[in-house]
Amino acid sequence: LKPTYGRVSRYGLIAYCSSFDQIGPITQNVEDASILFDAISGYDSKDSTSANLKPTQTFKNLNRDKRFKIAILRDHIKDASNEVQLAYENTIKALKEMGHEVVEKKMLDSHYQISIYYIISMAEASSNLARFDGVRYGRRAENVKDLKELYL
């Protein structure tokens, strides 16, 4: 489950890339995911990105008969292994057999998306993880000439 940004508190999470970090359960089925989501979602004053919304009632509102319009991005798996592509196609087939409408969409070339991801994530990771480098916090080494001396 990948919850909507701000729906589940990130308090206690060691931030890597704040723009992308989310907490969400991995479950075996939709019912379990909805039960866990209802339990973990909600406002948290200790997380400034937490949304102050009404509690979710996902499990109560599950509707197995509901049909969805699902967008797929075929271009994004073109470099995947044959096994992954086959699994993707089988999933699309299963969704259609269940009565869902599958619509192909195109987005910015995935190579650009990967570059954008790395630019954002590395910049944010550098900022978020700097507190753990031992340079700003913790014991200070005196009169060091280089990084090797600093860390050894």
Instruction: Render 53-113 in DSSP notation, one character per residue.
Output: -PPP-TTTT--TT---EEEE-GGGGTTS-HHHHHHHHHHHHHHHHTT-EEEE---S-HHHH
| Same-domain check for residues 79 and 39 | no
pLDDT higher than 90, residue 120? yes
Q: Give the mean pLDDT of the chain.
A: 88
Given this model, what pLDDT does residue 136 score?
64
- The mean pLDDT of 35-54, rounded to a whole number, is 92
Q: 137 with 116, same domain?
A: yes
More confident residue, 47 or 93: 93
In this structure, are 57 and 91 located in the same domain? no
pLDDT of residue 135: 64
Is the pLDDT at 69 greater than 70? The verdict is yes
CA distance 23 to 11: 10
Instruction: Answer yes or no: do 83 and 142 share one domain.
Output: yes
Question: Is residue 2 pLDDT above 80, yes or no?
Answer: no
Q: Is the pLDDT of residue 93 over 80?
A: yes
Query: CA separation (Å) from 71 to 1, 53, 60, 74, 106?
Result: 17, 27, 26, 10, 9
Over range 133-142, report the average pLDDT.
68
Q: How far apart are CA 85 and CA 130, in angstroms?
A: 39
User: Are residue 72 and residue 140 in the same domain, yes or no?
Assistant: yes
Domain range enclosing 51: 1-63
Residues 97 and 119 in one domain: yes
Over residues 123-140, mean pLDDT: 77
The string of pLDDT tens digits covering residues 97-118 is 999 999 999 988 777 888 999 9
Better-predicted residue by pLDDT, 79 or 89: 89
In this structure, are 118 and 71 located in the same domain? yes
Statement to judge: residues 69 and 58 lie in one domain: no
Answer yes or no: do 126 and 74 share one domain. yes
- Asked whether residue 152 carries a pLDDT value surpassing 80, the answer given is no
- Residue ending a domain, among 48, 63, 78, is 63
pLDDT of residue 129: 86
Closest alpha carbon to 99 in 141, 69, 144: 69
Where is mean pLDDT largest: 18-27, 69-78, 80-89, 131-140?
A: 80-89
